[in-house]
Amino acid sequence: MSPLPPDRAAWTRFVLSASVLLLLSFVSPGECQTTSPPPPPVRCSSFKDCDSCVPHAKCLWCFTTNNCTDYPVTWWLPPASLCPLSQARWGVCWLNFEALIIALAVLVGTFLISIVICCCCCCCCKSRPSGLDRDEERFARRREEIRQRAEERKVERQSRHDEIRRKYGGYHQCVIMSLMCFLLKVILGTVTC
């Protein structure tokens, strides 16, 4: 008897079979194939127009001479003796090297400026206390002022009540009652007034 409930056992068998089938689908039967040697590389000078020349990364089209030449891999930019930058095309025919250099410079400059701005913003935000801290401080000061005023009013009210008790004789009775309550608390320990 299976330790799993019947529906769970069926589900487990299904998942197991599906995973085995999936694994087997990735395994292909071995086939012996002989590979032919790669074709010899095509020389850039064999291309006669810009559209057939520039898709090859190692080729450079020059509109001045209307020919396709090998890209000089020893330099990042082709020398002016090979082709002026405004007439050289590499990758696509509609973009010359001057425009490519300007576009890349603008992109890199924008990227660097955005990084500098982000760093400055992060530094300024960390050094400056946040608005929440200032608000909490202001509310704490306000609470303290309110508490002090309430305490002053309480003391003032207490002094007025004491003055009224003294004037009408209730002060001595209040003092005597307080003294008696204190003595009862001390003697009995549990009686409250």
Summarize pLDDT for 55-69 with one digit per residue, the tens: 888 888 898 888 898
Domain map (residue ranges) of the chain: 44-96, 140-188
Q: Is residue 54 within 8 Å of 90, Cβ to Cβ?
A: yes
Examine the pLDDT at 181 and tell me if it is beyond 80.
no
Per mean pLDDT, which range of 114-128, 137-151, 179-193 is the poorest? Answer: 179-193
Indicate whether this model's pTM tops 0.85. Answer: no
Summary mean pLDDT of the chain: 79
**Minimal CA–CA distance to 90: which of 80, 78, 106, 108?**
78
Summarize pLDDT for 133-177 with one digit per residue, the tens: 778 888 999 999 999 999 999 999 988 888 877 777 655 666 777
Query: Helix H segments across 27-96?
Result: 50-53
Tokens of 176: 């005597």
Examine the pLDDT at 105 and tell me if it is beyond 90.
yes
Q: How far is CA 59 from CA 25, 65, 116, 133, in A?
A: 42, 14, 37, 62
